[in-house]
């Protein structure tokens, strides 16, 4: 009886339950544990991208993320920053329009060591998993447990968000992203390159450290072309990438499977609330509480479960990590008298994060829509605009600082 009583008491000691053990969920768990909060982390096996049909299940993960300075500082503070060779500092960025336009950024011009860092996703996930395993205040569980607050970090296809009936306003783009990896004849020189064309938006992200010759590829192309290039023979696929990149990296060699996911801009109408009575996780009752109703607690959305943006600026994970940082800071400063599920606190988080996301969403959507239009006059206008931005001085400097999260 005493053992059953102890287990029931322990089940009620969680301050927060996190649904989704991806990068955002694990980062949030570590941030909260650092503030002495007890966390239940619910693992999820939902895939984030779809593999090329026929690809082996055990093939290496081809994903890589561009992390800004704010994200890098956050992960370094948690001591989960991957080792050298698994992170590549971006010293320069080159963005080529579909005409004679080009915008270039250099870390030295902005007095920083790097404009961004390209991080190997499996390496970052491994470091986070190790840190979670060593943190006694985090318990990895397989199903939701009761807590004053449930944080939903399940990604864009969140089943919990759907079960709660939260409207997810989706603006689908007529594009799908194909990701893979290439080995290049020439070193990447720590330059991130991007090309806009009638065939979509192609990005080469440097990998393998300072002297690396490998790049992560993200090609956002029209949906009508996806089947052709997702299933194309490797030589034909590589030839197309070489053409779109104007041979900037020399001869190319395919190094990984091709994976694809449809692109969209989306925003949840509500980011927080109280669990409906029919869905609220029930707190196990101990003898002294028998017959007493459990507090259903509150829920909150983070990361892709709350918002999606086009990947052309590589800001998706940065926004999710900023969500985790903002929520953790609010919970740490809430005061001992206030529950972690206090709706006033959660609504403050929602307002602040939506305000930060709104201008970025407008800019990303505007750029995508502008380059999606094939008219000759529009092409001239957008390339003129890129060249003007390249010469803009203070505006360009401000944009770089915003992208870096500074």
The CATH number of residue 42's host domain is 3.50.50.60
**Contacts of residue 267, Cβ cutoff 8 Å, sequence gap at least 6:** 168, 169, 306, 307, 308, 354, 357, 361
**Number of structural domains, the chain?**
1
Domain span including residue 184: 2-403
- DSSP state, residue 344: H
Burial class (CB in 10 A: 0-12, 13-18, 19+), 303: buried
Which token pair is 276? 């409906």
The tens place of each residue's pLDDT in the chain, 406 residues long, gives 333 333 443 445 899 999 999 999 999 999 999 999 999 999 864 444 444 433 333 456 888 899 999 999 999 999 999 988 889 999 998 888 777 777 788 888 777 888 899 999 999 999 999 999 999 999 999 998 999 999 999 999 999 999 999 999 998 888 899 999 999 999 999 999 999 888 988 999 999 988 889 999 999 999 999 999 999 999 999 999 999 999 999 999 999 899 999 988 899 999 999 987 666 665 444 333 333 334 568 999 999 999 998 776 667 899 999 999 999 999 999 887 788 899 999 999 999 999 988 766 666 666 666 666 666 666 676 767 666 666 776 766 666 666 666 5
Whole-structure pTM value: 0.85
- DSSP H stretches of helix in 41-176: 69-77, 121-134, 159-163
């Amino acid at each position: 009886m005493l053992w059953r009583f102890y287990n029931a008491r322990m089940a009620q000691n969680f301050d927060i339950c996190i649904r989704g053990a991806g990068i955002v969920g694990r980062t949030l768990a570590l941030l909260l544990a650092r503030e002495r909060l007890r966390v239940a982390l619910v693992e999820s096996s939902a895939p984030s991208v779809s593999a090329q049909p026929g690809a082996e299940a055990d093939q290496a993960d081809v994903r890589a993320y561009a992390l800004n300075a704010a994200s890098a500082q956050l992960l370094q503070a948690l001591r989960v920053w991957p080792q050298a060779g698994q992170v590549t500092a971006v010293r320069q960025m080159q963005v080529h329009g579909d005409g004679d336009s080009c915008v270039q950024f250099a870390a030295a011009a902005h007095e920083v060591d790097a404009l961004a860092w390209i991080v190997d996703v499996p390496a970052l996930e491994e470091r986070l998993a190790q840190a979670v395993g060593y943190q006694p205040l985090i318990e990895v569980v397989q199903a939701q447990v009761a807590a004053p607050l449930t944080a939903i970090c399940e990604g864009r296809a969140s089943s919990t968000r759907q079960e709660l009936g939260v409207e997810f306003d989706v603006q689908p783009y007529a594009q799908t992203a194909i990701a893979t990896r290439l080995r290049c004849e020439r070193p990447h020189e720590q330059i991130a390159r991007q090309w806009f064309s009638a065939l979509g938006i192609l990005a080469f992200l440097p990998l393998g450290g300072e002297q690396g010759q490998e790049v992560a590829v993200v090609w956002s192309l029209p949906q009508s072309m996806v089947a052709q290039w997702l299933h194309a023979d490797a030589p034909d696929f590589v030839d197309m990438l070489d053409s779109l990149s104007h041979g900037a990296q020399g001869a190319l060699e395919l190094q990984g499977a091709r994976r694809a996911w449809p692109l969209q801009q989306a925003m949840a109408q509500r980011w927080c609330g109280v669990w409906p009575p029919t869905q609220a996780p029930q707190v196990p009752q101990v003898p002294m509480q028998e017959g007493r109703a459990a507090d259903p607690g509150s829920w909150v959305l983070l990361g892709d479960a709350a918002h999606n943006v086009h990947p052309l600026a590589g800001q998706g994970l940065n926004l999710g990590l900023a969500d985790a940082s903002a929520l953790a800071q609010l919970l740490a400063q809430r005061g001992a008298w206030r529950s972690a599920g206090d709706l006033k606190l959660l609504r403050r988080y929602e307002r602040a994060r939506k305000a930060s996301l709104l201008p970025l969403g407008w800019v990303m959507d505007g750029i995508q829509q502008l380059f999606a239009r094939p008219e000759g006059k529009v092409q001239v206008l957008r390339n003129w605009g890129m060249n003007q931005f390249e010469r803009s001085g203070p505006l360009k400097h401000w944009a770089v600082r915003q992208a870096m999260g500074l």
